[in-house]
Amino acid sequence: MAAVATSLMLVPVAMQRQLFGLRVKDRLVESGHRVVATVLWLIGLLVAGTTARIFYVVLGAQEAVIAAVACGVGLVVSLLIYPGRTRRGRAPHGR
């Protein structure tokens, strides 16, 4: 999963380099946004899984589940709830 996330982060950079000057900025930005959002979720799942594994080995299964759920809650808060609340009531950039 780490290799996939790392590889996907290179996609927006490669696309920008190939499509620069072709007047496709809006599509490029939207596509890059989707890729980066996907990568953020993959990295979050990777961190939650790694944390759960460490807790499982060191403390046991119950603690691993608690740690994984805590990481999952933190992931949802940081990637969904916080940006949504920050964005609420604001005009789009540049307007």
Please answer whether residues 9 and 36 qualify as being in contact, where contact means their C-beta atoms are separated by less than 8 angstroms: yes
As a whole number of angstroms, the distance between CA 95 and CA 5 comes to 33
Question: Residue 83 domain-assigned?
Answer: yes
- What's the confidence (pLDDT) of residue 53? 96
Summarize pLDDT for 17-41 with one digit per residue, the tens. Answer: 777 778 888 888 888 888 888 998 9
Question: Residue 52 domain-assigned?
Answer: yes
Question: Residue 24 domain-assigned?
Answer: no
Domain span at residue 49 reads 2-13+33-87
Over 60: is that where the pLDDT of 15 sits? yes
Count CB neighbours of 38 within 10 A: 15
- What's the confidence (pLDDT) of residue 46? 92
Summarize pLDDT for 46-69 with one digit per residue, the tens. Answer: 999 999 999 999 999 999 999 999
Tally of structural domains, the chain: 1
Question: Residue 20 domain-assigned?
Answer: no
Question: Residue 94 domain-assigned?
Answer: no
As a whole number of angstroms, the distance between CA 47 and CA 41 comes to 10
Question: Residue 44 domain-assigned?
Answer: yes
In this prediction, residues 6-18 reach a mean pLDDT of: 81
Question: Residue 23 domain-assigned?
Answer: no
Question: Residue 37 domain-assigned?
Answer: yes
